[in-house]
Structures are given as structure tokens and as C-alpha cells.
Amino acid sequence: MRHIILFSISCLFAGLLLSFSWKRAAEGICEDFKVEINGNGFSHFVTVESAREIILNLGDPLIGTAMDLIDIPRIEDRLMEIPYVKEAIVYKTIDKTLRVSITQREPILRLIDKNGQSAYLDKDGLLMETSESYTERCIPLTGSYTLDQVEVFMQPEGKLYRLKDFIEFINGSEFWSAQIVQIDLPADGQMTILPRVGVHEIVIGSLADYELKMKNLKDFYDKGITQTNWNLYKSLDIRFKDQVVCLKR
């Protein structure tokens, strides 16, 4: 019983201390505000400087303002309007600082449609507009499609079904991320890949069983092509089970 009483007292004390800390964080005058950008460490769609400018342009003073008068939801809502922001969390700390934590969206593919319009596909499989101030280096997907068709094509039975999984597979492989420089989607939907080494194109067709298709291709690269004949073929067709069909130049 004594242990239970001591535990209850400890919990009560911790709760009072936490309540006191939150009260101190909410009281007083804001002395500083800090911004941190989270993500893969490579993307720079949103910077600390640009985020601070957006917050200050809301017109409400921060430094010198009573902490409990700062409109946190308004700041978060404004940051979430930025098309490159996945999450924005604004909070007050006990040292009278307003902290802003921004998580960027992470693009994995550059979409360039038949009309020259461009966008990104992000890690969540959502379209993401491009930026005038920053360009992310991604594999481009060109071809006979328009941006407003992409989300439909990514549905089951669509031409781009499993596209996000395929790109993550490429990006997760040291070999394929170095070898593949472009993907093309022609009108017939038979997707092709352009490699960095060799002047051939790779016909993958649909993305069904893409892992097996790419394994067969890797085996062919390892065993069927030497350093002297990478340019011997016009195309490598990996649409068929357990084989690579080669068309010579």
C-alpha cells in the first residue's frame, strides 16, 4: 500500500510540474522563434529563411508579443498552404521561444507530359507541383499522357499501376538508380526504360512482376553483356517470363 501511495504522489508531482511548465511556456513575452526543416536532407523546396518570411508576412508580431496571444493555428494553416509542406507543427517552449517544425514532401519522380507540363510524384504517391526556385533531381517519366491522367493511370489495371513501388525499387538499388536515367510511357502503354550505359532501350511493358523482370535484366547484364558490346543491341525486351528478347542494331 505504501508503494502505491508513493507512486500516486510521484504521479501527482509530475503532473503538477508538467502543468507548471506548460503554464510558463504560455505566459510571458515571446523572445525568439525558430524554424526547423525536416525531410531527406537533400530537398530544398522550403528553407528556414523562406518559412520565416512567410510567417512574418502574416503581419502579426511574434517577438515581443505575449505568448498566449500568438495564433498558432493561423500559422500552421498558412504553412500547410505551401504545396511542398507535408506537416507543420508550431509550439511554445518554456524558454519563451516559438518553435516551428516543418516536414517537407519528398519527390521521387519527375513527370513530363506530352504537352510539356511538369510535376513531381511524391513518396505518398501524390502529385506535387514544381518550384520556380528549386529543382529536385529525379528520374523523369515522359510520354503520351497528361498530368490529369496520372492519378487515374495509377489505379489498378491502369497503365501506371504500381508506379510508386517501381520507382522506390529503383531508388533503393545502387545499381538501378545509377543505370536508369529516364522512363517513357508511349500511347500503347508499353513502358520503356532508357539506361545510362548502352544505347539500347528496355521494354518492360506493364509494371506487373517488375521485380522479376528487372532481375532477369540484371542477370543478362551480368552474364550476357561484356564491357565491349553494351552498344550491340537496339532494344532489350523483358516483358516475357524468364527471358530477355534482344534486338540487334
pLDDT tens for 207-221 read: 999 999 999 999 988
Identify whether residues 44 and 138 lie together within a single domain: no
Render 131-182 in DSSP notation, one character per residue.
Answer: -SS-----EEEEES--HHHHHHHTSTTSTTTTHHHHHHHHHT-HHHHHHEEE
- pTM given for the model: 0.82
Residue partners of 9: CB distance under 8 A and separation at least 6: none
Q: Which domain holds residue 191?
A: 107-248
In a domain, residue 39? The reply is yes
Identify whether residues 128 and 93 lie together within a single domain: no
Identify whether residues 235 and 185 lie together within a single domain: yes
What CATH number did the domain enclosing 201 receive?
A: 3.40.50.11690
In a domain, residue 7? The reply is no
Identify whether residues 176 and 96 lie together within a single domain: no
In a domain, residue 4? The reply is no
What CATH number did the domain enclosing 47 receive?
A: 3.10.20.310
What's the rounded Cα separation, in Å, for the pair 97 and 63? 9
pLDDT in tens, 101-139: 999 999 999 999 999 999 999 999 999 999 999 999 999
Identify whether residues 97 and 61 lie together within a single domain: yes
Quote the number of domains for the chain. Answer: 2
Identify whether residues 166 and 53 lie together within a single domain: no
Identify whether residues 111 and 94 lie together within a single domain: no
Per-residue pLDDT of the chain (249 residues; tens, 9 = 90+): 544 444 454 444 444 434 444 454 456 899 999 999 998 778 899 999 999 999 999 988 889 999 989 999 999 999 999 999 999 999 998 889 999 999 999 999 999 999 999 999 999 999 999 999 999 999 999 999 999 999 999 999 899 999 999 999 999 999 999 999 999 999 999 999 999 988 899 999 999 999 999 999 999 888 877 655 777 889 999 999 888 998 887
Single residue among 48, 77, 104 that ends a domain in this structure: 104
